[in-house]
């Protein structure tokens, strides 16, 4: 009975993920280049943040002396997840774009109700845009909604379903 309880406890305990590490200046420069080239977001807005990296993710964390203390706590999440490595590409998260996308000067696509309806059905919007293929910032006439992907004359939504459901009422 005792050995069964020990097995049960060990199966319940989650494996702790390694704490994200601060990235090198070289890697930070690559991220800055991507954000500047793709979206026109300049590096100066990131001065107050530390860049952290997990296996395939990057986080922004406000520069603080508390970061070292967090390492001992093994938190589930540290900061704002802002980029994911998807294959060999970097995909910005919708949460990041909603908070920092207003700094962008390019690859911003304004969508209307028709596009939102298509995205809710899981379908892309067929449209020719004067931009290079890749990730784009999706917005409506009021605010930034999140991330999309433009490829071969089609715009794909990377918005969460619940967000498009909220937008349906607008």
Mean pLDDT by 10 residues, the chain (170 residues): 50 56 92 96 94 89 79 73 90 94 96 88 92 94 92 88 54
Q: Quick one: 154 and 136 in the same domain?
A: yes
Does residue 10 lie within any of the structural domains? no
Task: State the Rg of the chain over Cα.
Answer: 19
Q: Which residues contact 31 (CB under 8 A, 6 or more apart)?
A: 23, 51, 58, 83, 90
Number of domains the chain is built from: 2
Looking up residue 119, the CATH number of its domain turns out to be 2.30.130
pTM of the model: 0.81
Same domain? 115 vs 156: yes
Find the domain containing 30 and state its range.
18-103
């Amino acid at each position: 009975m005792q050995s069964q309880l020990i097995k049960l406890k060990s199966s319940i305990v989650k494996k702790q993920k390694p704490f994200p590490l601060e990235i090198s200046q070289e890697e930070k420069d690559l991220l800055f280049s991507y954000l500047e080239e793709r979206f026109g977001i300049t590096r100066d807005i990131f001065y107050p943040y530390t860049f952290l990296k997990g296996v395939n993710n990057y986080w922004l964390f406000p520069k603080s002396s508390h970061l070292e203390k967090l390492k001992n706590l093994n938190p589930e999440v540290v900061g704002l997840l802002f980029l994911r490595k998807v294959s060999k590409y970097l995909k910005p998260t919708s949460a990041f774009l909603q908070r920092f996308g207003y700094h962008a000067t390019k690859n911003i696509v304004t969508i209307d109700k028709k596009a939102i309806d298509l995205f809710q059905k899981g379908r892309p919007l067929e449209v020719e845009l004067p931009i290079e293929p890749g990730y784009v910032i999706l917005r409506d006439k009021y605010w930034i909604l999140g991330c999309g992907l433009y490829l071969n004359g089609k715009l794909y939504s990377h918005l969460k379903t619940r967000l498009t459901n909220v937008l349906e009422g607008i």
